[in-house]
Amino acid sequence: MAGRLRILLFATAREAVGESTLSWPLPRTGLTARQLLDALGKAHPKLAPVLSISRIARNGAYLTLLSTPLTSGDEIAIHPPFSGG
């Protein structure tokens, strides 16, 4: 299961990390979306409060269950509350 995930960061999430994309290692033991968010929050403390109010999309579709196991090559988008218009 080892591989990498591509993380897309927008708006306040991007500002908290200082990057718009991250390449994140997927351990052999696998990773759920919840575990990924916990790891991201630990690696980037300013991101943690943003994650708690963001929607998480996997390959273009929102995740409703954070227990979803992630797969190598998945694209995970972090969407803070929208403000378009």
Partner 1 sequence: MTVLVGRRPLSLERAYRHLGDASSGGVVLFVGRVRPEDQRGRPLVALDYEADVRMAVGALRRLEGECARRFGTRKVFVEHRIGRLRVGTASVIVGAAAPHRAAAFQAARFLIECLKLEAPIWKTDRYRSNRRTVAR
Residues that bind partner 1 in the complex, under the rule CB under 8 A: 8, 10-12, 14-15, 57, 60, 77, 79-85
Q: How far is the CB of 28 from partner 1 (least distance, A)?
A: 30
> How far is Cα 35 from Cα 55, in angstroms, rounded to an integer?
15
Pick 37 or 77: Cβ nearer partner 1: 77
Q: How far is the CB of 58 from partner 1 (least distance, A)?
A: 11
Evaluate the CA torsion angle 65, 22, 82, 11 in order and state its sign: positive
Pick 29 or 52: Cβ nearer partner 1: 52
Evaluate the CA torsion angle 40, 45, 49, 54 in order and state its sign: negative
Residue 27 is encoded by which pair of tokens?
Answer: 């351990």
Secondary element (H or E) of residue 9? strand 3-9
Pick 39 or 57: Cβ nearer partner 1: 57
Q: How far is the CB of 1 from partner 1 (least distance, A)?
A: 26
